[in-house]
Chain A
Amino acid sequence: MSGKPKVAICWLGGCGGCDEAVVDINEAILKVVEAVDLVLWPVALDFKYHHVEAMQDGEIALSIINGHVRNSDQEEVAKLLRKKSQLVLAFGACACFGGTPGMANLITKEDIFDWVYRDAPTVVNPKGNRPQPKFSSDGKELTLPEFYNQVYSLKQIIDVDYYLPGCPPPPDLIMNAVTAVLEGKLPPKGSTLTPHKALCDTCPRNKTKPSRIGIKDIKRIHEIEAEPNTCFLVQGVLCLGPATRSGCGEACININIPCRGCFGPIEGVEDSGAKFVSALAAIIDVESEEDTKRVIDGIDDPVGYLYRFTMPTSILRKKRV
């Protein structure tokens, strides 16, 4: 084997978008491959987990892990990579905060199984079969990973060194992160490898914002014809820019879609949804009790909008049942 640093890229509960984002760095990936030895990348290369198991502890220089943890298999892989790696990078919104699948923390494991194996209109399951973690037949035992009661972000399962949020992370930040590791120019452990400002700070529409925003009604993006250059909040459309970290290159804003918060909370903030509630309350321009109730009751699914990517790492984390 060469003396090049070893890098593993792995998905847990991810959609594959983050792996695709790695490929999206285009020809720069050739330089990366020249500089490192890829030892695991289930989406793209045919290495097996037992190859990783055979390695010595700390032999892998960097593990880039995307996706959340919701079953025992994902937890096992996460722990294996932690043991074999010097550095672990939580890659993408799911690994950093639980991501969109984290919204499943608002329903129970039983609700999910009932829907998938009984109630969904396309299901035909007359015997009411449900997947079991263990099944014996002819003296042989088959196993399936255990499905957990809730979604976990990576840091709730293993020790994470660095974070790179986004759904998916943009190519320039991926290259910066990989270069920083290769050159050994890393910030303190636990840092997020993005700018530390709020998205509003870097948003091109910021200059159209009046000194004080006042909205009388909250609308959804499909209900209006959004002005392409005006701040969404001024137009009465919820945009999570004030409470979300910048670094995404304003990808959504540039195609006239408000920010949904995939970069998660700003430095030092635990719960971006709660912070957005404060920001939103400040710009709702009504005084009477009825008007306040009318405007706020008009918001469809506030928790789904405010915690779309961050539910498992929010202060309350999960629905109480």
Chain B
Amino acid sequence: MKHFKPKLVCFSCRFSWGYLAEDAGLSWQTRNWVPVVCSGKIDTTHILSAFKHGADGVLILGCPEGDCHYQDGNYEARKRVYLMQRILESYGIEKERLEIRLSVDPEGKQITHYVKELSDRVAKLGPVKKMIERTESGSAV
């Protein structure tokens, strides 16, 4: 897997990450970057859908502890991520593929850095295992 380039999805909170940056430039550098109004808005089904559609890793960026604009959205996100990691492991998707970081970076320079960091770690794990689609021929009636 020498040339394996992981496909990542990055959800980030608008209030702490990249609000001073130019969206177009940042999305050009970071593919599948999805800024949201609060990390607490990231639904578990979004995370599952990302993996279902072939993401090799998902990075969630939220506000620092105690600094959520909506009181506790970042804590909610973190609890969900830990729960989802356990669910994903049972489905055969390593928990290291889902990561949450609570910090602040108005210019969004670290977004690309953290995406790269997760990308490097995921690259070592290899591509996410695909679900084997139906192999049975089935019966014709």
A residues contacting B by CB (< 8 A) are 72, 75-76, 79-80, 83, 106, 146, 148-150, 157, 270-271, 273-275, 277-278, 280-282, 284, 286-287, 289, 292-293, 296-297, 299, 301-304, 306, 314-321
Give B90's nearest chain A residue, CB to CB: A303
- A292 touching B79 by the CB < 8 A rule? yes
Which residue from B43, B65, B135, B140 sits with its C-beta under 8 Å from A278?
Answer: B43
Residues of B within 8 A of A289 (CB): 78
Report the Cα distance A321→B48, complex, angstroms.
Answer: 17
Residues of A within 8 A of B86 (CB): 296-297, 299, 302-303
- A321 touching B92 by the CB < 8 A rule? yes
Report which residue of B47, B49, B87, B128 has the largest number of chain A beta carbons within 10 angstroms of its beta carbon: B87
- Whole-angstrom distance between the Cβ of B33 and the nearest chain A Cβ: 22
- Whole-angstrom distance between the Cβ of B96 and the nearest chain A Cβ: 15
- Whole-angstrom distance between the Cβ of B48 and the nearest chain A Cβ: 4
Residues of B within 8 A of A301 (CB): 90
- Whole-angstrom distance between the Cβ of A281 and the nearest chain B Cβ: 4
Residues of A within 8 A of B92 (CB): 319-321
Residues of B within 8 A of A320 (CB): 91-93, 128-131
B80 touches A (CB below 8 Å)? yes
With A278-B43, A320-B92, A320-B128 known to touch, is A271 a contact of B48 (CB < 8 Å)?
Answer: yes
Interface size in chain B (residues, C-beta < 8 A): 36
Residues of A within 8 A of B80 (CB): 277-278, 281
Residues of B within 8 A of A292 (CB): 75, 78-79, 82
Give B138's nearest chain A residue, CB to CB: A75
- B131 touching A317 by the CB < 8 A rule? yes
Residues of B within 8 A of A303 (CB): 86-87, 90-91
Residues of B within 8 A of A315 (CB): 45, 48-49, 52
- B87 touching A76 by the CB < 8 A rule? no
**CB<8 Å pairs between A and B, sample of 28:** A72-B139, A76-B139, A76-B141, A80-B141, A106-B90, A148-B136, A149-B136, A270-B45, A273-B87, A274-B43, A275-B44, A278-B44, A280-B83, A282-B76, A282-B79, A296-B82, A302-B83, A304-B90, A316-B48, A318-B91, A318-B131, A318-B132, A320-B92, A320-B93, A320-B128, A320-B129, A320-B130, A321-B129
- A316 touching B51 by the CB < 8 A rule? yes
- A146 touching B136 by the CB < 8 A rule? yes
3 pairs of A and B residues whose beta carbons are closest in the complex: A320-B129, A320-B92, A303-B90
B residues contacting A by CB (< 8 A) are 43-45, 47-49, 51-52, 65, 72, 75-76, 78-80, 82-84, 86-87, 90-93, 128-132, 134-136, 138-141
Give B88's nearest chain A residue, CB to CB: A316
Report the Cα distance A289→B86, complex, angstroms.
Answer: 16
- Give the tally of cross-chain contacts (CB within 8 A): 107
Report the Cα distance A297→B89, complex, angstroms.
Answer: 13
- B141 touching A293 by the CB < 8 A rule? no
Give A286's nearest chain B residue, CB to CB: B79
Which residue from A75, A271, A296 sits with its C-beta under 8 Å from B45?
Answer: A271
- Whole-angstrom distance between the Cβ of A170 and the nearest chain B Cβ: 29
- Whole-angstrom distance between the Cβ of B133 and the nearest chain A Cβ: 10
- B139 touching A274 by the CB < 8 A rule? no
- A293 touching B87 by the CB < 8 A rule? no
Give A288's nearest chain B residue, CB to CB: B65
Report which residue of A80, A275, A278, A303 has the largest number of chain B beta carbons within 10 angstroms of its beta carbon: A278
Give A76's nearest chain B residue, CB to CB: B139
Residues of B within 8 A of A284 (CB): 79
Give B46's nearest chain A residue, CB to CB: A274
- A274 touching B91 by the CB < 8 A rule? no
Residues of A within 8 A of B129 (CB): 320-321
- Whole-angstrom distance between the Cβ of A185 and the nearest chain B Cβ: 31
- Whole-angstrom distance between the Cβ of B86 and the nearest chain A Cβ: 5
Report the Cα distance A187→B14, complex, angstroms.
Answer: 43
Report the Cα distance A280→B79, complex, angstroms.
Answer: 9
Report the Cα distance A293→B86, complex, angstroms.
Answer: 11
- A274 touching B90 by the CB < 8 A rule? no
Give B128's nearest chain A residue, CB to CB: A320
Report the Cα distance A308→B65, complex, angstroms.
Answer: 34
- Whole-angstrom distance between the Cβ of B65 and the nearest chain A Cβ: 7
